[in-house]
């Protein structure tokens, strides 16, 4: 089955800088890649996704890149703010909308 690896377990940036979180996947059939954010004690909150028919998607300060050849996708958060601090999970979706999650990246944005 699908395996998703999330490369950074922790990431610390200064406010205003960019943060990049990288993930790789194994199943070439995966076609949908969502990102979720989890703040301390709260649920997973959907932030952005990308489908395999495009290689870039932007929503305000969030950019997702997809490299299907390398089976790699990444989340770029530009102009980071302290409220961006959270754990971010990448996921890849295969049949029946089953989400295979990465292990999470704890992002800290320092003022």
Looking at the Cβ atoms of 13 and 68, the one nearer to another protein is 68
* CB of residue 17 to another protein, shortest distance in Å: 27
Looking at the Cβ atoms of 78 and 103, the one nearer to another protein is 103
| Contact set with another protein (CB under 8 A) | 32, 34, 36, 42-46, 49, 89, 95-104
Overall size of the chain counted in residues? 111
- Secondary structure, 3-state, 66-90: EECCCCEEEEEECCCCHHHCEEEEE
Looking at the Cβ atoms of 18 and 45, the one nearer to another protein is 45
- Which residue's entry shows tokens 């754990």? 87
């Amino acid at each position: 089955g699908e395996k998703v690896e999330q490369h950074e377990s922790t990431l610390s940036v200064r406010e205003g800088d960019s943060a990049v979180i990288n993930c790789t996947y194994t199943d070439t059939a995966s076609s949908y890649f969502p990102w979720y954010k989890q703040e301390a004690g709260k649920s997973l909150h959907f932030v952005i996704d990308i489908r395999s028919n495009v290689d870039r998607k932007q929503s305000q300060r969030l950019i997702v890149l997809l490299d299907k050849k390398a089976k790699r996708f990444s989340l770029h958060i530009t102009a980071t703010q302290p409220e961006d601090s959270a754990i971010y999970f990448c996921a890849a979706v295969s049949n029946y909308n089953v989400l295979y999650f990465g292990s999470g990246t704890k992002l800290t944005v320092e003022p």
